[in-house]
Amino acid sequence: MALLQISEPGQSTKPHEHKFAIGIDLGTTNSLVASVRSGKADTLSDVDGKHLLPSVVRYSADSIVVGLAAKENQVKDPHNTISSIKRLMGRGVEDLKAQFKSLSDELPYEFAEGDSVVPRIKTAAGNKTAVEISADILKVLKLRGEETLGDELEGAVITVPAYFDDAQRQATKDAATLAGINVLRLLNEPTAAAVAYGLDSGAEGIVAVYDLGGGTFDISIMQLKQGVFEVLSTGGDSALGGDDFDHAIAQWILEQAGVDSSELSSSSLRLVLQEACSAKEALSEHTETEIKIDFSADKNWTGILNREILNTLIDPLIKKTLMSCRRALRDADVDKEQVIDVVMVGGSTRALRVREQVGEFFETEPKVDIDPDRVVAIGAAIQANALVGNDAEGNLLLMDVLPLSLGLETMGGLAEKIISRNTPIPVSRAQEFTTYKDGQTAMAVHVVQGERDLVDDCRSLAKFELRGFPSHVAGAARIRVTFQVDADGLLSVSAKEETSGIEASVEVKPSYGLQDSEIEAMLKASMEFAANDKDARSLREQQVEADRVLEAIDSAMADDGEEMLSAEEREAILQVRQELEISRHNATEAQQLKDAMSKLEKVSAEYVARRMNASVQKSMAGHQVEEFK
């Protein structure tokens, strides 16, 4: 029986005032979760002490595996093992066709046919959207947070790239909802990194955040003014990262070994890439490293890679990132000298050559004190902690800005901006429009996002109609359109004809986002599964308990059942014991087993009491009563 826990007199049993919140970096390659504990922000590890969770999910008919175990099966099970899903967030089938020249070449998955605008990847566990796959990653991080903090979470701050548009932000939020996470706020990744370094409470000025991850490079030029981080410009390369370093090194290995890559099987090639990656990572600690590769039974190669060679291999790639930096500075209309801090983010900025070159370019020592893998999650945790009200020092709550301008389509396919990019959020703006034809009683409202003047060059967010307003001559109707953006950068739009008071509004659901009904259905399904899972678990627990009880009663009966029980008593106990054994194998619900066990407990209560007395007497036999006082 479990001991009841009773608190010491005077000790408070009142729950702690502290509220638990986490920060999540949902990365393309790796994801992390962090929290503020005892005033210190840090990332949380899994049971093996690992902080980084590879953003890889493997689906099979009866299980979902996330992280390293999934990643290790990527070569073996490519169709069901999904990686880099972040690239597909908030993207429609049409978007993907434009983004990837050949879907099957660059994304080794099968897409389900159908009329849905949201791409669905076929897996052994059914068709999955990017939102669902991301939700599976988020669930693991949430659980890690709950297990480490030992309590229900109040919510989470989730980071997104600064250039993410409304659809991509909405998709991220949907994924969090699906994972059962209360999103306190979406935060731009470079902003989070700057927060981790406390730059929000330091000097005002221009900060560059250089983020080189596994497959992407992002540069953000930001200006901090009165607690608001304004993103002056973003740039980068969505297909340049540490993976390219690995490819360059692998190429070198093959040249040295005299092996033609076309002769290699895909798993040998994978092996060479893995060795290249390990060597690269080792060289940020050591000046040289040995590489050994068994290409086949009769062909192996051993060689030394040192920092000089590594530098010549990766320099052209680093140069490319610096060209993006130069462009971003130009877009922001900022000189290199004006940049007061350069924050390094992403695993690939561990490479010493990257630090060296970036430092040289900006003519300042880049900030690397906080682990570049963890810095974004740490900044998110600091914001989360402040948002739930734990920050006793009352640090300024940081504001983000709108990443892309929002506007409406006007005559001639032109985009009229209502709120321009970099406006601090939340924000609400209204503008009046009028009709262009005599007798016009309806008006189509087309909401677009982007910086370009032509609607065709912007992203279409939503369309709705305002109907039934009184007929006016052209130019006399007054239609007021209000845009409202919440703290996550998500938009709702309403329109009102002022003379008649007729109103229409939409909560903007990005054109390629999921419908509310779809999200609801997914949520329901995941809750149903959760309920099933819970039932199955408690049945299993009671079965284990029943086994234990059966074993205990059998061993007691074998011990002293003959001497301590009359024949009838024995018969009665054995009868109920038999019932429990049958239940143990047939019960489909935990309660049935509980009932059978409590029946056995009742019928054997007297026997248990007699045994206890006997055992007490036995242990006292031969001793003086005084000894026990």
Chain residues in the site for ligand ADP (CB under 6 A) = 27-30, 213-216, 241-243, 277, 280-281, 284, 346-348, 350-351, 373
Provide the minimum distance between the beta carbon of 26 and ligand ADP in the complex, in angstroms, as a whole number. 9
For residue 475, give every residue at least 6 positions away whose Cβ sits within 8 Å of its Cβ, in sequence order, or none.
434, 435, 436
Query: Percent helix, strand, coil in the chain (nearest 5)?
Result: 40, 25, 35
Residue with the closest Cβ to Mg ion?
27
- C-beta closer to ligand ADP: residue 220 or 583: 220
Provide the minimum distance between the beta carbon of 310 and ligand ADP in the complex, in angstroms, as a whole number. 10
**CA atoms of 224 and 221, how far apart (whole Å):** 10
Interacting span for Mg ion (CB under 5 A) from 154-162, 213-221, 238-246, 433-441: 213-221
Out of Mg ion, ligand ADP, none, which partner does residue 288 contact, by CB within 5 to 8 A per kind? none
CB 192 within 8 A of CB 162: no
- C-beta closer to ligand ADP: residue 211 or 341: 211
| Crossing angle (nearest 10°) for helices 590-603 and 516-556 | 20
If we measure between CA atoms, which residue out of 323, 316, 349 comes closest to residue 209? 349
Which among 86, 280, 496, 509 is annotated as catalytic? 86
- C-beta closer to ligand ADP: residue 43 or 422: 43
- C-beta closer to ligand ADP: residue 347 or 489: 347
- Coil, strand or helix: which one is 90? coil
Provide the minimum distance between the beta carbon of 424 and Mg ion in the complex, in angstroms, as a whole number. 24
Out of Mg ion, ligand ADP, none, which partner does residue 216 contact, by CB within 5 to 8 A per kind? ligand ADP
> DSSP per residue over 518-548, as a string?
HHHHHHHHHHHHHHHHHHHHHHHHHHHHHHH
Out of Mg ion, ligand ADP, none, which partner does residue 385 contact, by CB within 5 to 8 A per kind? none
Out of Mg ion, ligand ADP, none, which partner does residue 223 contact, by CB within 5 to 8 A per kind? none
Q: Considering the rule CB under 5 A, would residue 27 count as an interface residue with Mg ion?
A: yes
The pair of three-digit structure tokens given for residue 379, joined into one six-digit string: 């900044």
- C-beta closer to ligand ADP: residue 319 or 437: 319
First to last CA, the chain: 26
**CA atoms of 188 and 509, how far apart (whole Å):** 20
| Extended strands (E) in 440-589 | 442-449, 459-467, 479-485, 491-497, 503-507
b/e per residue 130-144 (b: at least 16 CB within 10 A) = bbbbbbbbbbbbbeb
Out of ligand ADP, Mg ion, none, which partner does residue 243 contact, by CB within 5 to 8 A per kind? ligand ADP
Out of ligand ADP, Mg ion, none, which partner does residue 23 contact, by CB within 5 to 8 A per kind? none
- C-beta closer to ligand ADP: residue 24 or 519: 24
Out of ligand ADP, Mg ion, none, which partner does residue 242 contact, by CB within 5 to 8 A per kind? ligand ADP
**CA atoms of 231 and 161, how far apart (whole Å):** 11
To the query of whether residue 211 is one of the catalytic residues in this protein, the response is yes
**CA atoms of 264 and 526, how far apart (whole Å):** 43
Provide the minimum distance between the beta carbon of 52 and ligand ADP in the complex, in angstroms, as a whole number. 6
**CA atoms of 380 and 230, how far apart (whole Å):** 17
Interacting span for Mg ion (CB under 5 A) from 207-215, 466-474, 476-484, 489-497: 207-215
Provide the minimum distance between the beta carbon of 34 and Mg ion in the complex, in angstroms, as a whole number. 13
Which among 154, 166, 211, 341 is annotated as catalytic? 211
Out of Mg ion, ligand ADP, none, which partner does residue 214 contact, by CB within 5 to 8 A per kind? ligand ADP
Residue 459 pairs with which residues in a beta bridge? Answer: 449
Provide the minimum distance between the beta carbon of 160 and Mg ion in the complex, in angstroms, as a whole number. 11
The pair of three-digit structure tokens given for residue 603, joined into one six-digit string: 């019928």
**CA atoms of 417 and 484, how far apart (whole Å):** 13
What's the alpha-carbon Rg for the chain, to the nearest Å? 32
Interacting span for Mg ion (CB under 5 A) from 24-32, 48-56, 429-437, 494-502: 24-32
Provide the minimum distance between the beta carbon of 71 and ligand ADP in the complex, in angstroms, as a whole number. 12
Out of ligand ADP, Mg ion, none, which partner does residue 491 contact, by CB within 5 to 8 A per kind? none
Out of ligand ADP, Mg ion, none, which partner does residue 190 contact, by CB within 5 to 8 A per kind? none
In the chain, what is the greatest distance between 2 CA atoms, to the nearest angstrom? 114
- C-beta closer to ligand ADP: residue 315 or 516: 315
For residue 414, give every residue at least 6 positions away whose Cβ sits within 8 Å of its Cβ, in sequence order, or none.
453, 454, 455
Residue 207 pairs with which residues in a beta bridge? Answer: 222, 341
- Among the residues of 261-332, which ranges form H helices? 266-282, 307-332
To the query of whether residue 25 is one of the catalytic residues in this protein, the response is yes
Q: Is 540 left (phi over 0), alpha (psi -120 to 50) or beta?
A: alpha
Residue 25 pairs with which residues in a beta bridge? Answer: 32, 159
CB 283 within 8 A of CB 289: yes
Q: Considering the rule CB under 5 A, would residue 213 count as an interface residue with Mg ion?
A: yes
**CA atoms of 274 and 106, how far apart (whole Å):** 19
Provide the minimum distance between the beta carbon of 421 and ligand ADP in the complex, in angstroms, as a whole number. 24
- C-beta closer to ligand ADP: residue 193 or 406: 193
- C-beta closer to Mg ion: residue 27 or 510: 27
Which among 136, 189, 244, 373 is annotated as catalytic? 189
Provide the minimum distance between the beta carbon of 219 and Mg ion in the complex, in angstroms, as a whole number. 13
- C-beta closer to ligand ADP: residue 247 or 610: 247
Provide the minimum distance between the beta carbon of 581 and Mg ion in the complex, in angstroms, as a whole number. 56
Task: Give the interface with Mg ion as residue ranges (CB under 5 A).
Answer: 27, 213
Catalytic machinery residues: 25, 86, 189, 211
